[in-house]
Chain A
Amino acid sequence: MKKIGVFVCWCGLNISSTVDVGKASEELKNYPGVFYADDYKYLCSDPGQELIKKTIIDNKLEGIVVAACSPNMHESTFRAAAEAAGLNPYRVEITNIREQTSWVHSNKEDATIKAIQLIKATVEKVKKSEDLFPQQIPLTKKVLVIGGGISGMTVALEVAEAGYPVILVEKEPQIGGNMAKLSETFPTLDCASCILTPKTAEVGRHSNITLMTNSEVVESSGYFGNFTVKIKRKPTFVDWEKCIGCMLCQEKCPKKTNSDFEHGMGKRKAISVAFPQAIPYRPIINEKECIYFKTGKCKMCVKVCPVDCIEFEQLENIVEENIGAIVVASGYELLPKEKLSEYGQGKYADVIDGMQFERIASASGPTEGVIRRPSDGKIPQSIVFIQCAGSRDNQKDRPYCSKICCMYTAKHAMLYKHQVHDGTATVFYMDIRAGGKGYEEFVQRAIEDDHVLYLRGRVARVYEEDGKLVVLGVDTLSSEQVRIEADLVVLATAVIPSEKAKVLGQTLKVGTDAYGFFNEAHPKLRPVESMTKGVFLAGCAQAPRDIPETVSQATGAAAKVITMFSKNHLVSDPQVAKVNEKICVGCLQCEPICPYKAIEPETIEVRIGHTVEKRQVATINKGLCQGCGACSVACRSGAMNLSGFSNEQILEELKALCL
């Protein structure tokens, strides 16, 4: 039997006015296992804590119960006091006789009986408590950032500036992401490249950042502080080390092809760099389009290259990196307009999406910023913008709001009106969501100063008739059918997660929601952390958001990483799950229940007589486990238990309370 001490606090009159503390401590003195019991006016005061320490030392107590206020108030205080007296802090338990007893009951007799019973139950719990020790987990101070858009770059720069090495992986050959494709940005109408280029350049030259473009993360193992990832570096067919970026190859290449960067609005060469400000400014050969790859002849690029850096035989290679934290900033894509049958399913050249409009409105785009429609290059006299194309639409399985479309549509309409003063711009909207600094004013400017016509209603159909696009919709405010002939229709298609997000989620063991956006650890309090410890989220990978919000979240994620790296090792809470390997049958029915993926199978070797038996059991990664205990209930044999709230402890507490 353990020697247990019980301390009952008066909390001045807060407890003692409703609970007979003297009676409580007297009665506890005679309770089995209790070696010492007393009451004191203010246990949390310095003399109170001194009393506890002295009593522990003098009586060689093996566990204590402090009956006082809520453990949320002073559990850590009393545990620290006990530790100072040489008692393991996890042998200290608090009985809540203030918030949950004296303050909520008025009958002194009842409250005293309840308090005594609660204290006895806590004594029973302490009898079953064990010494627990926080574990030190080593830490690799290097972060992997996945995605080289504005969010990934922000994270990379912040962490690199703090002095820690960063690996920035981007699947495209250059960084900049979607923002590099934008024309101007709302609500200031400053050019996107002008604010982005300094950032990309800084990322490109920062000594703490290792840039891996044209690369993808294909495997990840390990945990919090100690991940090992495998990164696939796809071939570029150009030795970028040797290349000097003269772009003679691009100039002379005879093969023109559609440019992904231009979203079908412009062409590129089979060997090319996506855009003139691209970082790294190095060309890549499109294997599918290159004449040499198709026919074995041509090699024009080889002929013109002054440094002899074309390598047709280049293969992909896998590099392995040890890192401590991961930031997922895999960004977004737009819902393909082919999925929107009411708007022509992509068969009309002049029905384009928002990103395509960005390209034709961009000064560095295929039309050099002159808004021309793609079919014949004419300047449109009438443009219809359709918001919520796919968003807020249960039938398209996208019930969510894509958040950025209201603002960029207003921007698009404005850019157009600034160029074509006598043109008409009509916007079909469901609601205008312009929450943000200067946003509402921006929309008002579009309506009032630039005379953009906003119609509240949805478009039923878009079809072609006599070379014009006919838009049939309804204006719900006047309840009238609307028919507009347009030269160009711009769809604000839904923001969807990057195509590879789901696979990436599986690779990193981070959950995604029904749409493929990464799940945050807590929607309010932990918005930049994922459920997997050590993996953080930034930007549209988590949910649709605009640039300022993305940058704020990315900065937050960077701060999380920097905080983690500011310590020399990580410390884990010992109140986590534990497995009794003797009992565990290895069925792993606990595994799917763990929200942190902290449970894994492990093969152990057990000596039985002459033989060594190998057996599969469940094992807990103490770095990942957060101590919720859901697994312990799923375990039928009780092999899975939770330190600090063990089956034994809860049962004993329960039995004492039921009496």
Chain B
Amino acid sequence: MSVKFKPNIICFACNWCSYTGADMAGTSRMKYPATIKIIRVPCSGRVNPTFIMKAYQKGADGVLIAGCHPGDCHYNSGNYFAKRRFLLATRFMNYIGIDAKRLRMEWISAAEGVKFARVMAEFSETISELGPNWRAREEV
């Protein structure tokens, strides 16, 4: 293949920490690949594991969930529930054959623009190496 594979990555970012952290990366003019598209959610606890499956089905190659650090959740406990759900969901998706490396969860605070850019670059790299995801993907 001559054309370099450009992955399609969906990032769910919590409004209070990670989304603001992403803004921070922007204000600081940090660079990361354009492969990542952010969906703003009020809290990482709002992200339904079904959304992840749906993303794979509809053509995402990787999914990232970014929330507040433990103890920093704007709603106090949302990220802890999210953590439980995604601990279980990641292992389960892996079990049915969807590589666990395609799903990542990160705690990124509003001040961590650097971390946001770094995580995005890293994750984009990981997914580029894994190649496109065809598993559980809709045939068009």
A residues touching B (Cβ–Cβ < 8 Å)? 70-72, 96, 98-101, 103-107, 110-111, 113-114, 117-118, 121, 519, 521-523, 531, 575, 593, 595-596, 626-630, 632-634, 642, 644-645, 647, 650-651, 653-655, 657-659
Contacts and interface: CB of A to CB of B under 8 A. Distances in A.
A114 B74 contact: no
B81 interface: yes
B75 interface: yes
Contacts of A111: 34
Contact of A99 (B26, B37, B71, B78): B26
Contacts of B81: 593, 630, 633-634
Contacts of B38: 96, 100
A72 B75 contact: no
B74 A651 contact: no
B23 A630 contact: no
Contacts of A644: 42
B2 interface: no
Interface string B67-97: 0000100111110011001000000000000
B76 A658 contact: no
Interface string B29-44: 1111110011111110
B45 A104 contact: no
B5 interface: no
Given A70-B26, A100-B22, A103-B26, A633 B75 contact: no
Given A522-B74, A595-B76, A630-B46, A104 B26 contact: yes
A104 B48 contact: no
B48 A632 contact: yes
B34 A658 contact: no
Contact of A633 (B33, B34, B85): B85
The 7 closest A-B pairs by CB, nearest first: A99-B26, A629-B46, A630-B45, A658-B58, A628-B75, A110-B34, A103-B26
Interface of B: 8, 10, 19-20, 22-23, 25-27, 29-34, 37-43, 45-49, 51, 54-55, 58-60, 71, 74-78, 81-82, 85, 117
Nearest to B9: A657
Contact of A117 (B29, B37, B41): B37
Nearest to A627: B42
Contact of A654 (B25, B31, B54): B54
A96 B13 CA distance: 13
27 contacts: A70-B19, A70-B26, A96-B23, A96-B38, A96-B40, A100-B22, A104-B30, A104-B31, A106-B31, A107-B34, A110-B33, A110-B34, A114-B37, A593-B45, A628-B75, A629-B46, A630-B43, A630-B75, A630-B81, A633-B45, A633-B47, A647-B48, A650-B51, A654-B55, A657-B39, A658-B8, A658-B58
B46 A121 contact: no
A70 B23 contact: yes
Given A523-B71, A630-B46, A658-B55, A105 B34 contact: yes
A651 B47 contact: no
Nearest to A633: B48
Contacts of A632: 46, 48
A511 to B, nearest CB: 9
A629 B45 CA distance: 7
B34 A650 contact: no
A106 B121 CA distance: 14
A658 B31 contact: no
Contacts of B27: 99, 103
Contacts of A531: 76
B26 A98 contact: yes
B21 to A, nearest CB: 10
Contacts of B22: 99-100
A519 B27 CA distance: 34
Contacts of B26: 70, 98-100, 103-104
B70 to A, nearest CB: 12
Contact of A118 (B8, B33, B37, B78): B37
Given A103-B26, A111-B34, A630 B51 contact: no
A426 to B, nearest CB: 39
A593 B73 CA distance: 14
B41 A103 contact: no
Contact of B34 (A114, A630, A645): A114
B42 A103 contact: no
Nearest to B140: A659
A659 B137 CA distance: 12
Given A629-B41, A630-B82, 11 more contacts: A104-B32, A105-B33, A105-B34, A114-B34, A595-B76, A628-B75, A630-B43, A630-B78, A633-B49, A642-B46, A654-B55
A654 B58 contact: yes
B88 to A, nearest CB: 12
Nearest to A575: B42
Contacts of A654: 10, 39, 51, 54-55, 58
Nearest to A14: B26
A633 B75 CA distance: 15
A636 to B, nearest CB: 10
A627 B85 CA distance: 19
- A107, A645, A654: residue with the most chain B Cβ atoms closer than 10 Å: A654
Nearest to A629: B46
Given A110-B34, A650-B39, A658-B10, A628 B78 contact: yes
Given A630-B77, A632-B46, A657 B10 contact: yes
A110 B51 CA distance: 25
Nearest to B10: A657
A118 B35 CA distance: 12
B75 to A, nearest CB: 4
Contact of B41 (A593, A645, A659): A645
B4 to A, nearest CB: 12
A104 B117 contact: yes
A250 B49 CA distance: 69
A105 to B, nearest CB: 5
A72 B19 CA distance: 9
Contacts of B77: 593, 595, 630
A659 to B, nearest CB: 6
Contacts of A103: 26-27, 29
Nearest to A655: B58
A645 B19 CA distance: 15
Given A100-B26, A531-B76, A630-B43, A72 B54 contact: no
A118 B38 CA distance: 8
A299 to B, nearest CB: 56
Contact of A71 (B8, B40, B54): B40
Contacts of A593: 45, 77, 81
Contacts of B41: 629, 645, 650
Contacts of B46: 628-630, 632-633, 642, 645, 650
